[in-house]
Amino acid sequence: MTPRQVLYSSHRAQFVPFEVSARERCPAFDFCEVVPKKNPPPNVEEINLAGTIPEITNNLTKQQRTLKPDFMHNLEQIIDECVHACDVVSKVPAVRALFNSSMVFDLVIVEVFGSECFLPLGRRFDAPVVGLLSSVPLPWVNEQLGNPEATAYVPAYMMGYGQRMTLWERFANTMSVLIAKIIYRYNSQIPSQAIANRLFGAGPSLEVLAQEYSLVLSNSHFSINEVRPLVPALVEVGGLHLDDTEKLPRHQSSNMAGLAKKWRTFGYRCFAYGDISLLSLHLGAGRKKQFELAKSHNEIYLSISIRNERVVLKWDFKTLLDTSLEGVVYWSFGSMSRIETMPRDALNEMFSVLAELPLKILVKMNRALLPPNITIPGNVYTKSWIPQYKTLCHSNLKLFISHGGLLGIQEAVACGVPMLVIPLYADQALNARAMVDRGIAKVLSLSEITSNAWRDSLHDLLTNHKYKENAISLQSLFLDRPLPPLEMGVYWIEYVLRHKGAKHLRSPALDLHLYQKLLLDIILINISTHQYRTGSPKSISNLKCEKAKSVPFLSLAMIYHAASSVISSTLRVRFQPQAQAPADVVETTVSNALKLGYNHIDTAFNYNNEEAIGKAIKNWINSGEGTRDDLFITTKLPHVANRASDVRRFVEMQLERLQLDYLNLYLIHVPFGFHCDPEKLTPVVLDNGNYSLDMETNHVNTWKAMEECHKDGLIHNLGLSNFNQQQIAKIIKEVEIKPQVLQVELHAQFQQIPLRTFCMENDIVVTAYAPLGSPGAKDHFVTKYNYSPDTFPNLLGHPDVKEIAAKHNKTPAQVLLNFLLSQGVTVIPKSTSEARLKENMDIYDFVLSPEEICCLKNLDRGEEGRIFNFLFWKGVEKHPEYPFPEQLKLIEGIENTQ
């Protein structure tokens, strides 16, 4: 019904036996094929795509660039071709009509390779999706399935390394995986998303849909493609295309009929992706047999084709093979590359060496396409097509000269034949290296082919018995399985159908953030614990300039930089009560931040934006972009609810506003309290302008009420905000659950070193608000509260900060945030700008030097650097729990000097 997105006949060759078997077992199987039939059966419907897409068959060696070891170019080329194919097919009216039909399917089978533009079919037909992968697991497929990469010992696609890599190879291997994912994201996923949206309309992103595969069958096997970790949803069926019927009769007809009857009993109707390639592999009598089989089972056999020719292939080398008792060498570059397009001089040298062999040579090539003045020896027999698997398994076949294509490698291994491999493209270098490591092959690159190198390699492979012995040993490992590859694949397809999509196979890794999968948070905790408890300074002041080169703290900073946004990439959606942004602005800001990867939202009852935030979160979750467990939501008990009797009422009210079942973190916003206007839920203001103070504030009782909410699952973590050291110490002494977080004003000119030292000793995480000196609040406080403009430090314009920023090619804001993180302080910068949100996340790829940290530490002005002393709430200094008595002394001292 929908084509595959590739143009390579080798991919088609792998899946043909599987598709045939599926049709035999399934009572109604709609399949998109590529070869139009002159007289299709009545139950076969075709969509002819002839001529719409160019073929990549038998011409690859003309593209000399692809002969270079340039995996990026190769990957980009493959992906661009796949995306183009999807784009062309998606515009065919008959295809669009088919996709929008009312037909019902129980299963969607797609090829997993270079584009995902047809993935929405799973949701379109409400059916599980199974992927067929023609290679080893690709980097983006591993990511989609939550499968570990293991780049330390699993060689990457296209890199050509073995499992025992050097330091440099492990580095290059890891970087190639990262680069491949980036290329796939921008060259495939983004343009494919546009195609999918045009074809199916708006819906979940392809990135989300790609994580919904029920199963992926990979054309790999650990015996030849390296040992690697595999999640249950990724099953190896390497050798799926191998047909052993002539060698090992399996009474398949009776088995197939029985399984077809079994599938009809289940009531299944199956649906699979076909191919849009120009292919010539599975044609002639075999095709007719498929049609008859489909008709006999009353199957709907649906076909998409882009070619009008027929090629009937006959085996005409059997006599030659049977009579060549001295042995035969078979040379083929597969379905994509032409031997005859190799440089003339290289071909002459190779043929001259082959003439020296006392063996017959079979070569897959078209003599008519050879360059002029090429002499073909008398012992060389050529044909434009040779039935490869049968040839390789003939008892007189001595050696296979190959380009290293995976299907040919599998066939040679299954037949126990040594190989001389000349890798040209894509994963062929990887396959070649694997065969060399197993002792059954030698490798030559095109640039290395000389008469001597060619002669020496052929002589070694044909005379050294170890290659044949190793090939027989590997053959045994490859074929020794509980089920043949085809039956294994069909078994798992049936498993998915029996268990209605088999969602239990989905890896939990898909629900984790990168830092969680890499255990960076655990590493951070271990380093931090070691820092605090084994010889680390007990006072942060010890880490000033004279200790600026302290290695443990710099290491801690580097781990912090690697950790996820749960620790430090935090969105602070904060608006002052009298300078509130409209609800739609708040909602848009939160939505943008979530899309950018922010997952810690800090708000408060006093900010009057909890309802807008709750709406944005709900829309994000409902869209399928994430789950509640992906988020860390912090809010605060307001200053009008500091009594124990107020706690549960406000917690439940705030949960309702946020549309949540629980809060990740709940803070007491300020240590003092005001009497509450019961209707407005705002502080009562007296006639003289003073705020009405609630003098009966009891922090311990309020905290114990919060502990009860924690026990009931409404709050997961408890903390404080704007408390001083003495107030925190009193709570710690008398409560069951100690404060886990303290949120305070903290920036380069107000670094709160004594308070941070106290928190470090008591395992309390310090979170900084106003980490940039709150430049956005300056106008509001100057206008409304008569603040002096000098109260707000110009940290973003400070010469030292700007100099450091220029050195790292960062903004001053990024340097200031990085500095606080390097000191073990988490940050919550306030922003409603999407550009600023992006900028605030881009702070983990550089590390400040000890000298730069020393310079920024010297900006600290102590208590004089404090911006927010809360005296704008008139009369608040008379509250017994006013937390900043040093501010009152400072202000009194300034007044006395005036």
Q: Which residues touch 725 (CB under 8 Å, ≥6 apart)?
A: 754, 755, 758
Residue 515 among the catalytic residues:
no
* Angstrom distance (rounded) from CA 477 to CA 468: 14
Per the CB < 8 A criterion, the answer to whether 76 and 182 are in contact is no
Q: Give residues with Cβ within 8 angstroms of 16, minimum separation 6.
A: 241, 281, 282
CB burial readout 850-865, b (16+ within 10 A) else e: eebbbbbbebbeeeeb
Contact 748, 771 (CB under 8 A): no
Could you give the angle at which helices 344-354 and 451-463 cross, rounded to 10 degrees?
40
Quote the CA–CA distance of 852 and 808 in Å, as a whole number. Answer: 11
Q: Which of 330, 607, 666, 787 is catalytic?
A: 607
Rounded Cα distance, 736 and 692, in Å: 31
Beta strands in 707-764 (DSSP E): 718-721, 741-745
Structure tokens at 261: 């009857």
Cross-sheet strand order for the sheet of 360-364: 380-383, 360-364, 328-332, 397-402, 419-421, 441-443
- The amino acid occupying position 60 is L
Angstrom CA distances, 652 to 411, 609, 644, 829, stand at 66, 16, 14, 27
Q: Which two tokens stand for residue 44?
A: 């076969």
Rounded CA-CA distance 360/559 in Å is 63
b/e code 699-733 from CB counts within 10 Å (16+ = b): bebbbbbbeebbeeebbebbbbbbbbbebbeebee
Residue identified by tokens 């000389």 is 450
The owner of tokens 């820092």 is: 531
Per the listing, tokens 């292919």 go with: 279
Q: Which DSSP symbol is given to 685?
A: B
Distance CA 400, CA 397 (A): 8
Contact 160, 433 (CB under 8 A): yes
Those residues whose C-beta lies under 8 Å from the C-beta of residue 632, and which sit 6 or more positions away, are 566, 599, 600, 601, 664, 665
Entry field: residues in the chain: 898
Whole-number Å distance between alpha carbons of 750 and 683: 29
Residues 795, 801 contacting (CB under 8 angstroms): yes
Rounded to a whole number, what is the distance in angstroms from the first to the last CA of the chain?
86
Question: Do 745 and 867 touch, CB atoms closer than 8 A?
Answer: yes
What are the tokens at 616? 């944005």
Q: Are 748 and 825 in contact (CB under 8 A)?
A: no
What phi and psi values does residue 534 have, to the nearest 5 degrees? -130, 80
CA distances from 836 to 561, 628, 779, 790 (A): 18, 25, 19, 24
Kindly state the greatest CA–CA separation across the chain: 115
Rounded-to-integer distance, Cα 621 and Cα 628, Å? 7
Contacts of 898 (CB under 8 A, 6+ apart): none
Give the chain's radius of gyration (CA, Å): 35
Residues designated catalytic: 607
